[in-house]
Amino acid sequence: MSNTVKNQPASVIMNTYGRFPVTLVKGKASNVWDENGQKFLDYTSGIATCNLGHVPEHVHRKVKEQLDTLWHCSNLYEIPLQQQLATVLTENSCFDQVFFCNSGAEANEAAIKLAKKYASDQGYVEKTNIVTFTNSFHGRTGSTMAATGQKKIHQGFTPLTPGFRYLPLNDFDALKEINDGKTTAVLLELIQGEGGVNPADQVWIKELAALCEKEDILLMIDEIQTGVGRTGTLFAYDQFDIEPDVITSAKALASGFPVGAMLAKEEVAQSFQPGSHGSTFGGNPLVMSAALATIQTIMNENILHEVRNKAEWLRGKLGELQRDFSSIEEVRGLGLLIGIQMTEEVKTWISAFREKGILVLSAGSNVLRILPPLTTTKEELEYFIQTFRQLLTEKEGFCHDKWIPIRESMKRERSKI
């Protein structure tokens, strides 16, 4: 052992996150508490991960049961919970088979590998490239970082994994550039989350899907953030009148336990055979118990219908704020994945919300990203809107005639949630 005295860094944790000055120690439903007992309304949902809120009852119960039974074996053995979850997912989608892994990036890595293997199996030796789109985000592994259409993500990591081309989203002329004879697949988000909450145009995506089908190019949809009910359907593609060949899911799939999934149609999925791909921890019994309970809750408790109703109400109220205050330029998104384009950088807005007891996120420098749990209550949504109106009023220096008296109303509403 060396006797050299080390210079200790300020933290033993690598500096990979710009953390907020909050330490969260407890969560339940839409709320979290810090180490000092302060309560926050969590409208980040762990970045679209806690879609059922924190510690949902059915998931909690099933995980506790599994903790007393079996945590992990390996994928060399049959895992019945995998079969059950895959059955639920395929019966409620257009897909036939599922591969389980541990994260969204891993699910996208699996999709990228599957696309290349499918092209090889079809004899398309020259088809090795994948088209993605500017402002996209697909992960931070080698290939998924290269698939991401943002220069800031690439900076310092060149040379990137080859084989990706970036085209502008919603650009009809760009569709002509997709089939260059080397493209095996197109990978995109129907709503770019990290890139600014940018939805794909309905007409554009249908033309893209038709082109892919005609040219035997795989259409792969990244549903890491939009899936598991976030947009008001189990997967967002249901609202775009298309049938992708492959989708990826993660984040909310197991209510915070690490899991990823790639779903594919049978003719594509069969390109994966023993030895093609794998995962040590992917789909182990513990995480499958959480994921199955999560999906069962979403499908059996009318949550998707409620999401659509809540989203319609929330978008209406945000539209009123946009009309009343010049600080809001645009409101966009789908379901309970909402981006609010502001006239300035949103760092100060995020801090201001936090001081009022609400946690929100950014999606780029000027976009507030709002991700309520799908189970959030009407009272919580009203409190969020009232808080936002108060902050806008304070910033713009006037009191709207419909907002009287602000602080007394805020106190009453906060006491309800």
In tens, the pLDDT along 191-238 reads 999 999 999 999 999 999 999 999 999 999 999 999 999 999 999 999
We report the CATH number of the domain holding residue 309 as 3.90.1150.10
Dihedral sign, Cα of residue 229, residue 232, residue 234, residue 240: negative
256 lies in the same domain as 368: no
Residue 13 domain-assigned (yes or no): no
Q: What is the dihedral of CA 41, 223, 109, 204, to 10 degrees?
A: -130
φ/ψ of 326, rounded to 5, equals -75, -10
Residue 82 domain-assigned (yes or no): yes
241 lies in the same domain as 370: no
How far apart, in Å, are the Cα atoms of 56 and each of 290, 291, 377, 406?
10, 12, 14, 33
Last residue of a domain, which of 300, 322, 339? 300
40 lies in the same domain as 105: no
Task: Return d(Cα 119, Cα 149) in angstroms, integer.
Answer: 23
Q: Is 112 helix (H, G, I), strand (E, B) or coil?
A: helix
The model's pLDDT over 321-330, given as tens digits with 9 standing for 90+, comes to 999 999 999 9
Residue 393 domain-assigned (yes or no): yes
Residue 34 domain-assigned (yes or no): yes
pLDDT score for 403: 43
292 lies in the same domain as 327: no
99 lies in the same domain as 199: yes
CB atoms within 10 A of CB 365: 11
Last residue of a domain, which of 281, 300, 319? 300
DSSP string covering 213-253: HHHT-EEEEE-TTTTTTTTSSSSGGGGTT---SEEEE-GGG
166 lies in the same domain as 231: yes
Please provide the size of the chain in residues.
417
Number of H helices, E strands in the chain: 13, 17
- Single-letter amino acid code for the residue at 175: L
pLDDT score for 9: 75
| Secondary structure element (H or E) that encloses residue 199, with its range | strand 198-199
Residue 247: name the closest of 258, 231, 232, 234 by CA.
234
223 lies in the same domain as 320: no
Residue 17 domain-assigned (yes or no): no
Rg (CA), the chain: 22
What is the domain range of residue 49? 24-55+302-416
The model's pLDDT over 359-389, given as tens digits with 9 standing for 90+, comes to 999 999 999 999 999 999 999 999 999 999 9
319 lies in the same domain as 287: no
Give the confidence band of 406 by pLDDT, cuts at 50, 70, 90.
Answer: very low
Give the confidence band of 320 by pLDDT, cuts at 50, 70, 90.
Answer: very high
Task: Return d(Cα 189, Cα 176) in angstroms, integer.
Answer: 19
Give the confidence band of 16 by pLDDT, cuts at 50, 70, 90.
Answer: very high
- Buried b vs exposed e over 221-238: b needs ≥16 C-beta within 10 Å? bbbbbbbbbbbbbbbbbb
271 lies in the same domain as 342: no
We report the CATH number of the domain holding residue 242 as 3.40.640.10
Q: Look at the chain and report how many structural domains it folds into.
A: 2
Last residue of a domain, which of 274, 300, 326? 300
Task: Return d(Cα 238, Cα 320) in angstroms, integer.
Answer: 28
Residue 11 domain-assigned (yes or no): no
250 lies in the same domain as 326: no
Residue 179 domain-assigned (yes or no): yes
282 lies in the same domain as 358: no
CB atoms within 10 A of CB 148: 26
Residue 9 domain-assigned (yes or no): no
205 lies in the same domain as 195: yes
CB atoms within 10 A of CB 149: 24
